[in-house]
Structure 1
Amino acid sequence: MKITPAQPGDLPKLLAFREEAAAWLRGLGSDQWSRPYPADRLLATIEAGTVFMLRDHGGTAGTITLTTVAEDGLWTDDELGEPSLFINKLTVARTHAGQDIGGRLLDWAGDRAHRTGAAWLRLDAWTTNRGLQQYYLRHGFQHVRTVTEGGAVNGGPCVSGWLAQRPAQSTEHGFADETPAPDSSGLRAS
């Protein structure tokens, strides 16, 4: 399997991935990702070079977004002053479920964060999705806190405010990495 940057032509696949994941989550009783994600916002992240695809024999096994930009209102100013990369939209195709693809993508992200000079690999997860939170804890993340208000538009309830982090470190992930060398210019200095 190989990791490549997403291309604008991947937009339909990424939108389908999100819908597939939302349907699976609904089956588990979660409302996570129940609202359609705006295609124009997703295209903008693809064009910014922050979306990565895990390819497997011509198909797509998973995707992850890795950015230097945190969601508004979740992390403190001191935390934002520490060089960090943030994970978003980690999704594994149901055809590849049960193979720890997600864990290996997290390891790839941690390795990439390390190579940019980041101290932390961080994420915010759905506040009510306990299974997802446990998944991240099993993959070496430490819970920082849960933000329940103020992280959403207009200071309303925050649905994705379970915050976690793990140190960025060199990690073997087993994928062929066909992405450009990571750029540290967007990292904030502590």
Structure 2
Amino acid sequence: MIVTPATPEDLPLLLAFREEAASWLSQLGSDQWRRPYPADRLLTTIEAGSVFMVRDGETTAATITLTPEAEEGLWSEEELSEPSMFVNKLTVSRRYAGQNLGGRLLDWAGDRAFRSSAKWVRLDAWTTNDALQRYYLRQGFEHVRTVLEGSAVNGGPRVSGWLAQRAAAPADHSFVDRAPAPTPIAR
């Protein structure tokens, strides 16, 4: 499998991935990702070079967003002073479920973060999705805290504020990495 940067042509596929994941999560009783993600915001992250695709031949198996930019209002100033990369929108096609593709992508993210001189790989997860939180803990992340107030979108309760981190480290993720070399983080 190969990791490549997403292109604007991938936008419909990425939106479909999110819909597939939302449907699956709904079947599990979760309200995560029920609202459609704004296509223009996703296109902006693609154009910024922070969205990556895992390709298995002609098929896209998974996607991850990895950025040095934290979502506003989640991390403290002290935490933000530490060089970090932030994982968002990790999604695995249901066709590839159960193959540890998500775990390997988190290892890839940790390796990429390490190569960019980051100390941490950080993420925020849905506050009501206990299964997802347990998944990240099994992947070596440590729960930092849960932020419930101050949604950047509408000032209401935050729905994705379960914060976790793990040290950035080299990893054997077994992907062929065709993404450009990461840029060193300056903080």
Same fold (TM over 0.5): yes
TM-score by length of 2: 0.98
1:98 corresponding residue in structure 2: 98
Q: Distance in 2 between matches of 1:162 and 1:126?
A: 6
**Structure 2: which 5+ runs fail to align?**
none
Q: What letter corresponds to residue 125 of structure 1 in structure 2?
A: A
Quick one: distance in 2 between partners of 1:62 and 1:154? 29
Gaps of 5+ in 1: none
Cα distance in 2 between the residues matched to 1:154 and 1:37: 15
Deviation for aligned residue 1:57: 1.6
Amino acid at match of 2:117: G
Q: Structure 2 CA distance, aligned partners of 1:134 and 1:188?
A: 32
Q: Deviations over 1:139-164 (max 9, x none)?
A: 00000000011244354211000000
- Kindly report which structure 2 residues correspond to 1:76-87, keeping only aligned pairs within 5 A, or say none: 76-87=76-87
Deviations 1:94-139 (A, max 9, x none): 0000000000000000000000000000000000000000000000
TM-score, reference length from structure 1: 0.96
2:176 corresponding residue in structure 1: 176
3-state DSSP of counterpart to 2:74: coil
Aligned to 2:147: 147
Supply the distance in 2 between the matched residues of 1:106 and 1:151 (Cα, whole angstroms).
25
SS in 2 for 1:153: coil
Residue aligning to 1:24:
24
- Paired with 1:103 and 1:153, the residues of 2 have a C-alpha distance of 29
What code does the residue aligned with 1:100 have?
A: N
Shift of 1:188: 4.2
Q: Which amino acid aligns with 2:15?
A: L
Task: Report what 1:53 is aligned to.
Answer: 53
Give the aligned length: 187
Distance 1:107 1:126, change over 3 A: same
Letter in 1 for 2:37: Y
Q: Equivalent pairs: percent with the same residue? A: 70
**1:40 — aligned with what?**
40
Structure 1 contact 80–188 (Cα < 8 Å) conserved: no
| d(CA) in 2 for partners of 1:150, 1:188 | 27
